[in-house]
Amino acid sequence: MVRTLLLALPLLGAVGAIPSPHLASAPAPASAPCAVRFVLQVSPRQLAASGYCRSLLDQPARYFYQLTTEHWGRSHAISTQAGSFDLGPHQEAELAQAEWREVPGNHYRLRLRVYDDAGHLLAQDSVRRDL
């Protein structure tokens, strides 16, 4: 699932957090052991994002995450943050953060993916912002 943040976002006025459920997210499949989401902080000339994972299980579990950030326009750059983490039953954890200084004409994309120890994709979310 990909969600696009349109040019209307800067027109929201005050600086504040925008939880990704307000961006038309789809629910995780019933069989998914966890759900991921982004929380965005939008301010003039800056975008910050935090990626979260919430356990849907009744027992603890170990996962691996990968956050890929990309921007393109006048230049192009891709970076990746990754690591393993444990979640207790129905707990939520902040996995990673990213921030950019926004440049008119640039495009920004974040992808958060969570895998099990065998490398199977369990949950994912992405956000795109075009200026």
Render each residue's pLDDT in the chain as its tens digit; 131 residues: 333 332 233 322 233 333 333 333 344 445 789 999 999 998 888 889 999 999 999 999 999 999 999 989 888 999 999 999 999 999 999 999 998 888 888 888 999 999 998 999 999 999 998 87
Distance CA 3, CA 85 (A): 25
CA-CA-CA-CA torsion sign (67, 4, 90, 98): positive
For residue 36, what are the domain limits? 3-130
d(CA 123, CA 115): 7
Could you identify the residue written with the tokens 């902040």? Answer: 94
Residue 131 and residue 47 in contact, taking contact as beta carbons nearer than 8 Å: no
Residues in the chain: 131
Q: Is 0.85 surpassed by the pTM of this model?
A: no
Cβ burial, residue 131 (10 Å; 0-12/13-18/19+):
middle
Number of domains in the chain: 1
Tokens of 22: 């307000």
Res 30: pLDDT: 56
